Structure 1
């Protein structure tokens, strides 16, 4: 089969490697925001498609037989475009979406719908570990009545203001390290997207153990697709596993 994978996650790399090993023709599309990304086997393209029409044109020109959206759960635009382009072009769409986190017993979670709501929900003088990535960072930094430790994989485009510090770190993060960080920085609030997965889940357990409030941003809702939770299910849905 000729398969387009919308990638950028560990699951996307694993799926591409499996498919290439099985003899399929695979192209993994990456947004190009991460410097020196880990590349999967098969062909790789970097950058956008030029909107829904551009993606539709690519699907036809490349004779794509199936799309797997294995992007981050908060990839946003590309996931919405994939759903519309798949429907209009008739190409089957499989969405590989790792299961969302659920609050464990005893955890102090506040669930919000948007980044803006998360920023506005922080109390005065909160000490915040911010783990929501680059998008919407300015919404939090406007809160100069709070103190932020901004954890990112790559530095932001602009310097942080005096009430924020940058921590560059790539997951996975161990529980003992997360506990030490939260204690050392005297964190009162953890802000996170509900990305799911194990690589960044330790921060949630550390917050629970230390009775720290977690402000969790819900996942966006995208268009229709066959949703699967892991690579094995994706292969089975493509009927090639």
Structure 2
């Protein structure tokens, strides 16, 4: 029996769990970080909560006799990806990173790429005064002292300080184009700040920004650790899990 741990929290992780949960000869468990109050749970066995860094994850993998790991966490969950790379390397367990493709700018887009949330906050004064901030609940405090008005959208309330002039909108995608247009127009948004998470569920805001001529500050993804295999395809990840040569 092959035991597989999916580090989940994304639609890709849920889709992979659905693919594997009834597969003969495979036991699949999904692990969620527990940072969202009401997460969408994948099929099959689920654990919720952190592992306690590299050492805790290594102990969990060893004690539960995990044969391979698929990291299907959010593209910006750099810490767990680094921990997974280190722990699996120490134990000689195969690791695959399952990441949706990132968004790419097209004709009419006015994107400014930045390396971090702090860099995005520093760039604000010259780009916009009414900002649509769609970075999730973590990292909002990087904009707490910015001289601008913010529409902050997240699934759960942000961890840290909110900008002094702001409105909090708690909502979960997928979002449609008509609704995103109305948000931008109705709030007089002149700048969109977002992470390059990729995926169709939240892409409509980028289309709306393009149509309305709203510039975008695009926070770039952290790199995947060197030497780690990566795929954007759920079916390919399933084939990787099934491959008997990976041991």
> After TM superposition, is the score higher than 0.5?
yes
Unpaired runs of 5+ in structure 1?
none
- Using the TM superposition, name which of 106-115 and 221-230 deviates more: 221-230
CA contact (8 A) 1:141 1:164 kept: no
Q: Distance in 1 between matches of 2:42 and 2:5?
A: 13
For 1:82 and 1:157, the matched residues in 2 are separated by 24
The one of 205, 208, 213 equivalent to 2:207 is: 205
TM-score, length basis structure 2: 0.93
1:170 to 2:172 alignment = yes
Aligned position for 1:5: 6
Cα distance in 1 for residues equivalent to 2:47 and 2:139: 26
Which of residues 219, 235, 240 is equivalent to 1:237? 240
- Evaluate the alpha carbon distance shift between residue 93 and residue 158 of structure 1 in structure 2; reply closer, same or farther with a 3 A threshold: closer
Q: Which moved more, 1:94-103 or 1:120-129?
A: 120-129
1:215 & 1:158 partners in 2: Cα distance?
21
Q: How far apart are the structure 2 equivalents of 1:208 and 1:38?
A: 30
Distance 1:188 1:31 in 2: 34
Residues of 2 paired with 1:121 and 1:231: CA distance?
A: 36
Q: Any unmatched runs of 5+ in structure 2?
A: none
2:65 and 2:205 map into 1 onto residues whose CA distance is 43
* Count of matched residue pairs: 240
CA distance in 2, matches of 1:136, 1:72: 15
CA RMSD of aligned residues (A): 1.5
Give the superposition deviation at 1:42: 1.7
Contact 1:133 1:151 in 2 (8 A): yes
Name the structure 1 match of 2:194.
Answer: 192
- Taking structure 1 as the reference length, what is the TM-score of the superposition? 0.95
